[in-house]
Amino acid sequence: MIDPNILASWLSRLVQIPSVNPSQAGPKAGPPGEARLAEAVAGWFEAFGGQVQTHEVYPGRPNVYGIWRGQSERWAALDVHMDTVGVEQMTDEPFSGRVADGRVYGRGAVDTKASLAVALALLEQMHRDRRQPVPNLLIAATVDEENAARAAPMFARWLREQAIPLTELMVAEPTGCRPVFGHKGGLRLKITVRGQTSHSSVPEQGKNAIVAAARLIAALDAENERLRAVPSPLGHPTLTVSLIHGGVGANVVPDRCEITLDRRLVVGEGGDATQAQLTALVAASCPLPVEVERLGGLSAFWQPPDSPWIRQLADWAGRPPATAPYGTNAWAYGDLPGACVVFGPGSIEQAHGPVEWVELAELEKLADVYARWWS
């Protein structure tokens, strides 16, 4: 067993290095991005006997991979993202990393520096004791999870290029130490309706893009109703019209209206096929020409809940498997060999808010699970 004070001090140290995702970095964020933390993590991995490789995702923002050779053919990998959400909305000091009331506080404490801290504490201990893990161990400290999610597919591609025969992959996120075996994916589309402008005193000379968009929105709402009947173990898919923008003036027939929609995907739904289906629906329901542009897309994640890896983790953690309402990097790992799970300490309800913390007891539980996994 590892001293909980060691886990807490590792986590404090990580929280004290700001790594706010640049997309959410305001005046209180400190130096934006993961660069400083990535450099520190690479240094620790090396100091603890890892073979280190950095993999640039954006200029100056690399994924950091550490490999520790094991005593078996197994390959155990952990994806833990280094970035955090913004701090401008925080009422608590974001980077204090203070330890109080059996908790560690600060941005990233639960999402998801807790998992990185526990991994580092165990790697340090293993190195000091000159112990080798049983499985080959790959720790991937990744960037940009809280925004574009480009790092996860790059890590997946790197794994394929290296021909690493993964047997188990864990994505670190706050799941209350429940092994999460599924979550929905998402598809975001921007639809632009093209009309023709005219003076609003002679509207018949124009083609009103907003009125045409209204028909299209009604059709999308009907589609959302239809989706309620589509069965899935993750809950039915959904479609939300989330943004609308159009018009140039109170006395002008609008020639353009833009709509953004968020379609949540369930297991078995592909982004390309869903986009094609929605494009056809939109074209059929709108009396004016439309263009459809994909803003982003992530697949759903699913593992059989009774698979050995999920059951093993549930047993070690003493907590039942679950699905998650939110998306994670696991969306990018469906085609990799090995079993994938999302797992980590603390609740998602403690993440992204005005005060963020994780319980020390959760860190201890995670340390116990990692120790069993790696030995």
What is the contact surface with Zn ion in residues (CB under 5 A)? Answer: 111-112, 173
Read off the DSSP letter of residue 110.
I
> Quick one: 172 or 220, whose CB is closer to Zn ion?
172
Q: What separation in angstroms does the CA of 184 have from each of 33, 72, 225, 262, 317?
A: 27, 34, 18, 12, 24
Q: What is the CA radius of gyration of the chain?
A: 23
Smallest gap from Cβ 112 to Zn ion, in A, equals: 4
> Quick one: 82 or 339, whose CB is closer to Zn ion?
82
Smallest gap from Cβ 311 to Zn ion, in A, equals: 24
> Quick one: 113 or 264, whose CB is closer to Zn ion?
113
How many residues appear in the chain?
A: 375
- Rounded distance between C-alpha atoms, residue 53 and residue 301, angstroms: 27
> Quick one: 12 or 112, whose CB is closer to Zn ion?
112
Cβ atoms of 282 and 192 closer than 8 Å: no
| CB proximity list for 58: less than 8 A, separation 6 or greater | 143, 144, 150
Residue nearest to Zn ion (CB): 111
> Quick one: 107 or 264, whose CB is closer to Zn ion?
107
Which two structure tokens, joined as six digits, stand for 145?
Answer: 């999870």
- Rounded distance between C-alpha atoms, residue 34 and residue 36, angstroms: 6
Q: Coil, strand or helix: which one is 280?
A: helix
DSSP 20-87: B-GGG--TTS-S-SSHHHHHHHHHHHHHTT-EEEEEEEETTEEEEEEEE--SSS-EEEEEEE--B---
> Quick one: 19 or 112, whose CB is closer to Zn ion?
112
H or E element at residue 225: helix 209-227
Strand partners, 265: 185
Smallest gap from Cβ 44 to Zn ion, in A, equals: 20
- Rounded distance between C-alpha atoms, residue 369 and residue 266, angstroms: 29
> Quick one: 21 or 208, whose CB is closer to Zn ion?
21
CA 50 vs. chain centroid, Å, equals: 26
> Quick one: 208 or 328, whose CB is closer to Zn ion?
328
Smallest gap from Cβ 330 to Zn ion, in A, equals: 11
The values of phi and psi at residue 336, to 5°, are -80, 155
> Quick one: 17 or 126, whose CB is closer to Zn ion?
17
Smallest gap from Cβ 79 to Zn ion, in A, equals: 10
Smallest gap from Cβ 107 to Zn ion, in A, equals: 12
Smallest gap from Cβ 126 to Zn ion, in A, equals: 25
Smallest gap from Cβ 154 to Zn ion, in A, equals: 17
Name the amino acid, one letter, at 290: V
Smallest gap from Cβ 80 to Zn ion, in A, equals: 9
